[in-house]
Amino acid sequence: MPYTSRFDDALVYASDLHREQTRKGSDIPYVPHLLGVAALVGEAGGSEDQVIAALLHDAVEDQGGLLVLDEIRRRFGGAVSEMVKSCTDSVETPKPPWRPRKEKYVAHVAEAEPDALLVSIADKLYNSRTILLSLRSEGEAVWDRFSGKRDGSLWYYRALVTAFRARGHWLDLVDELDRTVAAMEEIAGES
């Protein structure tokens, strides 16, 4: 089924929100990440609401907290705002310490709604693929971009694979995430 003008509005809104943002430790604009996550969600059979949530999944965390969540609810509805909220690991500024925040997010996966899980899995798959490509081209220096560094980042992605698999949804994407994380671990000497 074709997307409605809500998708168009979400695309413009996401681009406006993230226009000045770049990917961690790079000059790469952030918007392609949002488009990539949305593409994974759409290609997995996600609904228009899920694709919109994918476009907006980092808006609350990175671009304004609860005020942005309220605006998302107003513009795109409760289902989208709940998925975005579920994908958000912190609305606080400054963010809480990295490891407890990530542990809380991994635990949250056990109770997240399946619609939001698709968005989260797609986000983590996109991120892990980006890390893997950077590891192959730049080597171990890539870990310096991340608060969790090498060991924390590998722990986080492996813990997410386990948590997502336990939920039993979107297993093709979880399998791809697992393969990507295994390749990261192999390069890092963790296999």
The pLDDT assigned to 111 comes to 96
Give catalytic status of residue 138 as yes or no.
no
Q: Residue 91 and residue 177: Cα distance in Å, rounded?
A: 26
70 is known as an active-site residue: no
CA distance 155 to 142: 16
5-187 — its CATH code? 1.10.3210.10
3-state secondary structure of 167: helix
Q: Is the dihedral of CA 11, 33, 101, 20 positive or negative?
A: negative
What letter does residue 111 receive in the DSSP assignment?
T
CB neighbourhood size of 189 (10 A): 8
**Is the separation of the CB atoms in 184 and 154 below 8 Å?**
yes
Dihedral, 27, 80, 75, 125 alpha carbons, nearest 10: 10
Q: Which of 9, 20, 48, 62 is labelled catalytic?
A: 62
Cα gap 70→76, rounded to integer Å: 10
Q: Which one from 27, 43, 48, 61 is the annotated catalytic residue?
A: 61
Q: pLDDT 10s digit of each residue in the chain, 191 long?
A: 789 999 999 999 999 999 998 888 788 999 999 999 999 999 999 999 999 999 999 999 988 889 999 999 999 999 999 999 999 998 888 889 999 999 999 999 999 999 999 999 999 999 999 999 999 999 999 999 999 999 999 999 999 999 999 999 999 999 999 999 999 999 998 54
- How many angstroms separate the CA atoms of 102 and 36, rounded? 22
Task: Give pTM, 2 decimals.
Answer: 0.95
Q: What per-residue confidence (pLDDT) applies to 190?
A: 59
